[in-house]
Amino acid sequence: MSTNRRIVIAVFPDVDLLDVTGPAEVFALANRETGGAAGYQVQLAGRTHGAVTTSAGVRLVADLTFAEVSGVLDTLLIPGAVDPGPEGPIARIDQDVVTWLKDAAPLARRVASVCVGAHLLAAAGLLDGKTATTHWSTAAQLAAEHPAVTVDPDPIFVRCGNVWTGAGISACMDLALALVAEDLGEEVALAVARQLVMYLKRQGGQSQFSVPLSRPPAARRDIDDLRMYIADNLDGDLSAGALATRMCLSERHFARVFRQETGTTPAAYVEAARVETARRLLESTDQPLDQVAAACGLGSVETLHRALRKQIGTTPAAYRRRFRTT
């Protein structure tokens, strides 16, 4: 017998399209994978009935108005929207959504935001005293405007009680899969991930960034090329001296140029890249720790332990237990 899981997703002018359709597709596939037993029923709620134009120009149709949302809800899902700013995107605060949220949130078993929708939850007071994430580009805005919220810009999603917040754009799929896993178990969530041809059902504590993406592009092409070389040769000699020789620079001059272009030292960058690869191996393989250490260039299990504790505050075994995906 199926369980009725009513999910209401807010829609409003210029809402990010994928924030709405991505999670909706995850829930639809969960229904299909379980022969309907999942019981997800997705409704779109807006200020008025009718079409709502998204940021992509595609129009969505609200099933009901905010005022018509009543009764018990399983999940209230809040997407986001941004406006251009002089230094990057600025999260838009739709006051109609904020006002409705204050009344609707108590009706729901859980409340979740995707991307910059976290700013709407914060404006409604739903994140006070909680840890939350959002798209990395608006994390500073969220922290500045809502000091009662502990903003962590790194994770893909964060759960704090019955409130979930997700990171930017495609991470909405990861958050929706996590909700499915909570409701129906990991097996169903992984089956949905396979149908979506997602590389991996990523866990919430994982970073929004890879090491190359977390650093801005260098003004010098040769430094960007070197960063790619580092990523492809983690088990090789990546000492400052070896990298300086590759760049045909003195070690001191190379260190100065690298820091100027990347904001960090060669040694710190290499260690971060090696830890990232170690994390992927711990998540996706059962390789012994000595093999993981060797593959990512950390050399020994002791160095692997030390690097993970320094970078992410945990041990390899603890990280694998939490994030290992079958």
Tell me how far CA of residue 176 lies from CA of 35, 82, 182, 253, in angstroms: 19, 21, 10, 48
Q: Is the CB of residue 226 less than 8 Å from the CB of residue 265? A: no
Q: Rounded distance, CA 208 to CA 136, Å? A: 8
Nearest to 122 by CA among 70, 71, 86, 158: 158
Q: Rounded distance, CA 233 to CA 102, Å? A: 52
What is the number of H-type helices and E-type strands within the chain?
14, 13
Cα of 158 vs its chain's centroid, Å: 9
Angle between helices 301-312 and 316-323 (to 10 degrees): 70
Tell me how far CA of residue 193 lies from CA of 22, 39, 75, 92, in angstroms: 12, 18, 20, 30
Per annotation, catalytic residue among 115, 160, 172, 248? 115
Q: How many residues does the chain have?
A: 326
Examine the residue annotation and report whether 296 is marked as an active-site residue of this protein.
no
Residues identified as active-site: 115
